[in-house]
Amino acid sequence: MAIIQWYPGHMAKALRQAKENLKTVDIVLELVDARLPESSRNPELKSILENNPAIIVLTKMDLADPKQTKKWLNYYGTSGQPAVAVNSTNGSLKVIEKKINTVLADKLAKRAEKGIQSKKISVMCIGIPNVGKSTLLNHMVKKNVASVGDKPGVTKKQQWLKAGKNLQLLDTPGILWPKFEDPLVGQKLALTGAIKDQLFHDDDIALYAIEFFKENGAPYLQKRYSLTENEMSASDVDTLLAITKKAGFRGDYERGAQRLIQDIRNQKLGRYTLDTVPQTIASDSKKADPNE
């Protein structure tokens, strides 16, 4: 598969603004999807954040495999990267505030020594489109101030928001990188709806999904579509054709692919995590939870 290359102008502008904003904020929240923590990290954002206080926030933890989320938190923690996992609609403000205060402890202590008690903590929130940023911010602010939608790229401009007693949040548009050199990363993003569906063929996304669920969620796949053992052990193409037939679409495998994709996005096949923690870290997953 060829390298997927594209770069809307508003994303280039948003990246420039993010670089400028780093000069004025105390800390950055880099939001990633808990179902694909690394694939949903923009490598260009990672590079500009290297020398700045930052916390990785795994959103949509209620959609991800909890065991894998714990492994990812451990991975980031042992790598020296502060990270938390949140459900975008429940209890996120306290979890994030606690982690911010921990990461900025020295800076806040110096402010206190100088008698600066009232200064709010400025926080820039960044991430790729459709990572759950607006939903999370609305919950933290306790108002519907950030636009929310199922399609990527809902937030078009940056805005400052107040959260809790001490936080000033800078909401920014979702930023993708110019090209996906690894087509698998693009397929993962497409499956979760982070990028426009038109960038990949539905059947390519569906075949990737079938391969993944055969290995990681076979009971859900088999039960959802009443697949026989032979249909499960068949090639991924034949399994897609079986799903298409049982969905009542006869030989229209494109509609079958679309049905599968929507079912996965609507959590009909359970909780899942597409990215796997590097093996050297995955084997050491019993350390303290970095959320603590």
Q: Is 87 annotated as a binding residue?
A: yes
Does CATH number 3.40.50.300 belong to domain 4-179?
yes
Q: Which long-range contacts (CB under 8 A, 24 or more apart) does 266-269 make?
A: 267/63, 268/224, 269/213, 269/217, 269/220, 269/221, 269/224
Confidence of residue 153 (pLDDT cuts 50, 70, 90): very low
- Please state the pTM of the whole predicted model: 0.87
Q: Is 131 annotated as a binding residue?
A: yes
What confidence score (pLDDT) does residue 159 get?
Answer: 85
Q: Is 134 annotated as a binding residue?
A: yes
Q: Is 118 annotated as a binding residue?
A: no
Tell me the one-letter amino acid at 80. Answer: G
Q: Write out pLDDT tens, residues 82-138.
A: 999 998 666 688 899 999 999 999 998 888 888 776 678 999 999 998 898 888 888
How many Cβ atoms from other residues are within 10 Å of residue 232's Cβ?
17
Q: Is 135 annotated as a binding residue?
A: yes
More confident residue, 164 or 235: 235
Q: Is 216 annotated as a binding residue?
A: no
Q: Write out pLDDT tens, residues 161-210.
A: 998 888 999 998 888 888 888 889 999 999 999 988 888 899 999 999 99
Distance of CA 127 to the CA centre of its chain: 8
Please provide the CATH number assigned to the domain covering 193-265.
1.10.1580.10
What confidence score (pLDDT) does residue 288 get?
Answer: 44
Structure tokens of 212? 């993944």
Q: Write out pLDDT tens, residues 238-259.
A: 999 999 999 999 889 999 999 9
Name the percent of the chain lying above pLDDT 90: 55
206-226 burial code (b ≥16 CB/10 A, e <16):
bbbbbebbeebbeebbbebbe
Confidence of residue 7 (pLDDT cuts 50, 70, 90): low
The domain limits of the chain are 4-179, 193-265
What confidence score (pLDDT) does residue 116 get?
Answer: 75
Q: Is 132 annotated as a binding residue?
A: yes
DSSP H helical ranges for the chain: 9-21, 43-48, 66-78, 92-103, 105-113, 133-141, 183-191, 202-216, 218-225, 229-233, 236-246, 253-265, 279-282
From 52-56, 264-268, 278-282, the region with the lowest mean pLDDT: 278-282
What confidence score (pLDDT) does residue 156 get?
Answer: 54
